[in-house]
Amino acid sequence: MISVSLVRHIRARPAIVFDAVTTAEGIAHWWGPDTGPVLLSESDPRVGGRFRVRFRMLDGTEHESSGEFVEIVRPNHVVMSWRWKGGLEDPGESRIEIRLRSIPEGTELTFTHAQLDNEETRRSHEAGWIGSLDKLEGYFATATRASAQ
């Protein structure tokens, strides 16, 4: 139902970004070390294959997330289900979709984390409730930029 969408340009070719996202070795590198070490990284990057990543935050707490590859088309597209273990954040399953497009400087990565993946609610989002969030934002004391699609 709710989703966060981010676009980022990376100076690396799509295949390299794709492998960084989907392989155990890649995941082990970029999930850390800013917020603490990655303790475990497993990945079986094919449709139906699972991944699991466990990391420790600087405050000493450990967190694990895991999921299943739903769609995987190297080097352009990967969709995976995603959930926290232990319910630190909201429990329940969400969906991550990553699209990689070749651009002159390397790769344009579009990252979407959707709380629900129901097609109808996603279309409603595209119809643009976020515009109204932006408008209503002025009402709240804490100004922020929330991007969602």
Partner 1 sequence: MVNYQKRLDRTFAALVDPTRRAILAQLERKDSASISDLAKPFAIKLPAVMKHLDVLADAGLITRAKSGRTVTVRLRPLPMREAMAWLRRYERFWLERLDGLAAYAEGQETEARSKGQ
SS (H, E, C) 45-84: CCCCCEEEEEEECCCCCEEEEEEEEEEEECCCEEEEEEEE
Q: Which is nearer to partner 1, 71 or 89 (CB)?
A: 89
Number of H helices, E strands in the chain: 4, 7
Dihedral (Cα; 55, 27, 104, 111), 10-degree rounding: -60
Pattern 121-140, partner 1, x by CB under 8 A: x--xx-x-x--xx-xxxxxx
- Binding segment (CB under 8 A) for partner 1, from list 2-10, 42-50, 66-74, 75-83: 2-10
What phi and psi, each to the nearest 5 degrees, are found at residue 131? Answer: -55, -40
Tell whether residue 85 is a contact of partner 1 (CB under 8 A): no
- Binding segment (CB under 8 A) for partner 1, from list 40-48, 66-74, 75-83, 101-109: 101-109
- HSE on the CB side for 136, CA within 13 Å? 6
- Binding segment (CB under 8 A) for partner 1, from list 1-9, 42-50, 69-77: 1-9
Q: Which residues sit at the interface with partner 1, rule CB under 8 A?
A: 1-2, 4, 6, 8, 10-13, 16-17, 19-21, 26, 29-32, 34-35, 87, 89-92, 106-107, 109, 111, 113, 115-116, 121, 124-125, 127, 129, 132-133, 135-140, 142, 144, 146-148
